[in-house]
Amino acid sequence: MVCLDTSFIADLNRKDIGAIEKLKEFIENQEKSVTTVINVAELYKGAYGHHNAEKKLKEVDEPILILFVLEMNVRASKNYGYFYHYLKKSGKMIEDRDILIVSIALSFGENRIVTRNIKHFEKIEEIEVVSY
């Protein structure tokens, strides 16, 4: 199983060659692709803010229908509290939503995130960042 970050899903919608090749690799390896409810929220935020919102909403709706979306739960909440304070104390703070994404993924046993935004996640040792 692999968790798809917002940047990866957006790049698939843009027909980015690197993202498409990475997705083909996951399919060939029969890896299940998931995302988090935070990623879905980010995608809808972007779609509603676009000048052609109707078109962008369709682009978000399509992959969301076929992906399993990991929800926030108590274990993720505990992870979030831990990572937030760990990153703050170590001077490695990242955005709250990225901490939430990692926290949710880890709460479901997923420790790999596919993203173009490596710096957002590389500060958390418990997660493997997969780029393309």
The string of DSSP letters for 44-78 reads HHHHHHSTTHHHHHHHHHHHHHHSEEEPP-HHHHH
Domains of the chain are 2-130 (3.40.50.1010)
Q: 63 pLDDT exceeds 90? A: no
With a CB cutoff of 8 Å and minimum separation 6, the contacts of 49 are none
State the pLDDT at residue 12: 94
CA 38 to chain centroid = 8
**What residues contact 130, with CB distance under 8 A and at least 6 apart?**
2, 22, 112, 113, 114, 115
pLDDT digit string, tens, across residues 80-131 = 999 999 999 999 999 999 999 999 999 999 999 999 999 989 999 999 999 9
Please name which of 44, 132, 124, 35 lies closest in space to residue 80, comparing C-alpha atoms: 124
| Confidence at residue 66, expressed as pLDDT on a 0 to 100 scale | 86
Alpha helices by DSSP H, 1-132: 6-13, 17-28, 37-49, 53-66, 74-89, 96-107, 118-121
Are residues 7 and 116 in contact, defined by beta-carbon separation less than 8 angstroms?
Answer: yes
Summarize the confidence of residues 4-31 as an average pLDDT.
95
The whole-model pTM stands at 0.93
36: which strand partners? 70
Query: What pLDDT was estimated at residue 65?
Result: 86
| Res 62: pLDDT | 87
The predicted pLDDT at position 25 comes to 96
Mean pLDDT (the chain) is 96
Confirm if 33 and 4 have CB atoms less than 8 A apart.
yes
- CB atoms under 10 Å from CB of 71, counted, come to 11
